[in-house]
Amino acid sequence: MTDASLTGRKVAFLVATEGIEQVELTEPWKAVQEAGGEPVLISTRPGSVQAFDHLDKADTFEVDVVVDHASPSEYAALVLPGGVANPDALRTSLSAVKFVQQFAASVRPIAAICHAPWTLAEADVLGGRRMTSWPSLATDLRNAGADWVDEEVVVDRNGPGPLITSRKPDDLPAFTGALLEALA
C-alpha cells in the first residue's frame, strides 16, 4: 500500500550499535517503505549494527547516517526500536540524546516501542505525556514525569508532536498503524 503523502518523506530510525530487537526495527521499517516513505538508519557509529531476536544474535544492518551528522529537521518522524541493550546504550550517547531532544521539540511524531522509552526519559521529554512501554520501565517513566499505562498502543498529543508508544513485539501491528496514521 503506497500513500502518496509519504512518498519521498524520510523517517529516522535511531539505534545503538547492538542490542536492537530486530522485529521492532524491521516491521516499522517495512511499513514505512510500503507506505512510500524512506526509512533511514541512524546510529552512534558508522558501519553496521547488530540486531537480536530477544537474547540471540540476529541480522546486521548497515548504518545510513551517524547521529553526529544527522539533522532532525530532515525527517518526518523518529522511530526508536527497543531491545534492552539498545536504548540503554543510546541514553549514554550525548549526540543521540540531543537528537531526541531536538526532535521532541518539533511537531513531528516520535514512536518508541518496548524498552526504547528509556532514551526518551534520558532526554527529559516525558513530563505530562501519557505512554506505555515494556512493564519493567513503568517506574522509570513515571519518575521521568510520564503517565504510564499498560495498553497495546498509546498516542499522546500533549506535546509539540505526537508520541506513539507500545509495549512489545506483539503490539507491532497497532504500533505501525498508529505511526502511519500520524504521518498521513
Residue 51 domain-assigned (yes or no): yes
- Enter the pTM of the model: 0.96
List, for residues 78-134, the tens digit of each pLDDT value: 999 999 999 999 999 999 999 999 999 999 999 999 999 999 999 999 999 999 999
Residue 3 domain-assigned (yes or no): no
Residue 4 domain-assigned (yes or no): no
Residue 73 pLDDT > 80, yes or no? Answer: yes
Residue 120 domain-assigned (yes or no): yes
Domain count, the chain: 1
CATH code, 126: 3.40.50.880
The answer to whether 114 is a known catalytic residue is yes
Q: Active-site residue among 63, 114, 153, 154? A: 114
Give me the residue label for grid cell 501519557: 130
Domain hosting 69: range is 10-183
